[in-house]
């Protein structure tokens, strides 16, 4: 299926970018992904090569040294990268969201300070909302930023599930501040926290204990941030005005959900490739198993689900690129793509039979990676709530 996940109406620039990324994935990521994942090793060389390709500045405006491409282009690039290894796209995702937040909500000074360095990858971004007892209830954040009276804030609390927490150098962190109103989501503020990459006591009042061990999604670090009187200037408030953090972060989450949906498409696409390739090569009862009706039907369902999820991602990205609210489309794309990804990966696993359980086969890695997409950027239940409420609006 050469047209699986094809997208019409792309510019020549978009097609060139995707062709370059596809070649990069096939030559530089696919051959080493499983070994790096099994070792839980950060893909330093791959990341450096992505910087050289300009991918860290893909959506950053040309005036700041980026390529200035659309969310659609980014989503299609993420599909390709995730087809090689989902963890690599996760490294790019948090960086992209921070760049997007600064582009959309930052002051002129913040844009000039951070965007050129984000574009080259000199700075790598991460963002932090969740806390140990928080889940999806963002308005229940307890980490606090207290004015010190001299133009600074003192942050105290614990943040959780921070992708790229250790390796990143710029973190957009959402905390509670006294400014705003009494409504919980009205007095949340986003700070831009520049730090030295690493673990341990990375700054006075800021500790990153180490990596959280995970079932899958390895290679990329997931960490905590422990604040104990960490001092940060008021000039590091995103947009310069406290109390607007909830709306800023929700804007970032919308594009983040498009990213997760694109990742799900990429993983499902790879599972489809692996399943069909194995089905054509493996023979039973005198013929390739792809010719058995049970396997043939499974392949048909897999291909259909990959293509349907891809089209939902394209729709969600195009709505956002048009400057419209896309929480409905992003929620639908994230929900459908992650559920279909799980289905396609499991079907490919079943096609592999006993060999799918062996670590030497790539499908074993995908089988452990797919569940993260069911919960990343909001669980399936959260997406259903968002979708249902939006559909019932007058």
Instruction: Say whether 377 is catalytic.
Output: yes
Reference 181, options 137, 242, 239, 130; nearest CA is 242
Torsion angles phi and psi, residue 156, rounded to 5: -140, 135
Contact 152, 236 (CB under 8 A): no
Q: d(Cα 139, Cα 141) in Å, to the nearest integer?
A: 6
Q: d(Cα 194, Cα 65) in Å, to the nearest integer?
A: 20
Torsion angles phi and psi, residue 376, rounded to 5: -65, 140
CB atoms within 10 A of CB 250: 14
Sort 319 into a burial class: Cβ within 10 Å, 0-12 / 13-18 / 19+: buried
* DSSP code of residue 355: G
Helix 245-281 to helix 293-321 angle, to the nearest 10 degrees? 150
Catalytic one of 69, 79, 362, 377: 377
Q: d(Cα 124, Cα 167) in Å, to the nearest integer?
A: 8
Q: d(Cα 179, Cα 22) in Å, to the nearest integer?
A: 47
Contact 362, 277 (CB under 8 A): no
Reference 309, options 273, 333, 343, 275; nearest CA is 333
Q: d(Cα 157, Cα 141) in Å, to the nearest integer?
A: 9
Measure CA of the first residue to CA of the last residue in the chain; give whole Å.
41
CB atoms within 10 A of CB 46: 23
Pairing relation of β-strands 170-176 and 125-128?
parallel
CA angle 55, 61, 67 (to 5 degrees): 35
Helix 12-24 to helix 71-84 angle, to the nearest 10 degrees? 20
**Enzyme catalytic residues:** 377
């Amino acid at each position: 299926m050469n047209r699986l996940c094809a997208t019409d109406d792309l510019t020549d620039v978009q097609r060139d970018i995707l062709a370059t990324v596809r070649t990069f994935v096939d030559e530089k990521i696919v051959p080493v992904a499983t070994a790096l994942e099994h070792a839980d090793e950060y893909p330093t060389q791959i990341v450096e090569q992505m910087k050289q390709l300009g991918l860290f500045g893909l959506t950053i405006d040309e005036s700041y040294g980026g390529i200035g491409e659309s969310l659609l282009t980014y989503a299609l690039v993420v599909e390709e990268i995730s087809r090689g290894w989902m963890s690599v796209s996760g490294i790019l995702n948090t960086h992209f969201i921070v760049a997007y937040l600064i582009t959309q909500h930052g002051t002129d000074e913040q844009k000039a300070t951070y965007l050129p360095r984000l574009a080259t990858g000199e700075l790598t971004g991460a963002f932090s909302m969740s806390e140990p007892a928080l889940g999806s209830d963002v308005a229940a954040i307890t980490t606090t930023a207290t004015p010190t009276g001299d133009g600074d804030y003192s942050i105290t609390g614990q943040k959780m599930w921070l992708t790229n927490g250790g390796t990143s150098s710029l973190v957009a962190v959402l905390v509670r501040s006294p400014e705003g109103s009494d409504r919980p989501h009205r007095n949340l503020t986003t700070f831009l926290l520049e730090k030295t990459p690493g673990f341990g006591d990375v700054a006075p009042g800021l500790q990153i204990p180490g990596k959280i061990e995970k079932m899958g999604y390895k290679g990329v670090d997931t960490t905590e941030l422990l604040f104990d009187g960490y001092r940060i200037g008021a000039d590091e408030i995103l947009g310069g005005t406290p109390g607007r953090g909830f709306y800023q972060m929700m804007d970032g989450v919308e594009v983040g959900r498009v990213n997760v949906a694109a990742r799900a498409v990429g993983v499902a696409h790879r599972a489809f490739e692996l399943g069909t390739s194995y089905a054509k090569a493996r023979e039973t009862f005198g013929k390739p198993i792809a010719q058995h009706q049970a396997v043939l039907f499974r392949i048909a369902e897999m291909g259909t689900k990959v293509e349907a999820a891809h089209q939902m991602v394209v729709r969600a990205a195009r709505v956002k690129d048009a400057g419209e609210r896309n929480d409905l489309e992003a929620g639908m794309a994230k929900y459908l793509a992650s559920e279909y990804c799980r289905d396609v990966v499991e079907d490919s696993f079943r096609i592999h039979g006993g060999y799918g359980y062996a670590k030497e086969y790539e499908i074993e890695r995908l089988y452990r990676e797919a569940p993260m997409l069911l919960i990343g950027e909001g669980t399936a239940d959260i997406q259903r709530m968002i979708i249902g409420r939006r559909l019932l609006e007058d």
